[in-house]
Every structure is written in C-alpha cells, then in structure tokens.
Amino acid sequence: MDLKEKITLDMLTKDSVSVLRQQFLNYNGTEMQVGENVRNAYSNNEDDRALLKNILSEEYYNAVMAVWGDSPTVDEPTESEV
C-alpha cells in the first residue's frame, strides 16, 4: 500500500492561489482517496509568500512565483481587518 499526496494549485492569479491537498492510497492497483480534501487560500503578500515557501515543494512554489513575480501585490492586513 502506497500513500501519496496530490497537490493542486487552483485559481492561481497574480494576487492569490488556492492549494488543494488530497491523500490517496494505492491498494491492489486501485487508487482511493483517504480522508477529505484540504484547501487553503493564500494571498500574494510577504507573509503568505513565506508560508508557501515552507509548505510547498520547490516545484509547486516556483510555479506560483512564476505567476506572482518578484514582489507582493497584496498589502498585509491591518489589525482592524484581522
């Protein structure tokens, strides 16, 4: 039995991305999803860029950065917005 995580970068724009994580089990040649979908949204700001660098593999991180570019496009939320 092989447990494999699949990551999908969904709704990737210059300002945000949604990261979908799914776990699959290969049992006797049949792929079955284990658990539920886990989806998180990230904005193109300094904090979320740092988070993505830590949680995504280099391949996925580079794909996001190819769209987002070298600098953030979204301001950090202020305390009154949190």
User: Which residues span the domain enclosing 64?
Assistant: 2-70
Assess if residue 77 is contained within a domain. no
Q: What is the pLDDT of residues 11-62, one digit of tens each?
A: 999 999 999 999 999 888 889 999 999 999 999 999 999 999 999 999 999 9
Assess if residue 43 is contained within a domain. yes
Asked whether the predicted pLDDT for residue 79 surpasses 80, the reply is no
Structural domain total, the chain: 1
Assess if residue 78 is contained within a domain. no
b/e per residue, 45-75, with b = 16+ CB within 10 A?
A: beebbeebeeebeeebbeebeeebeeebebe
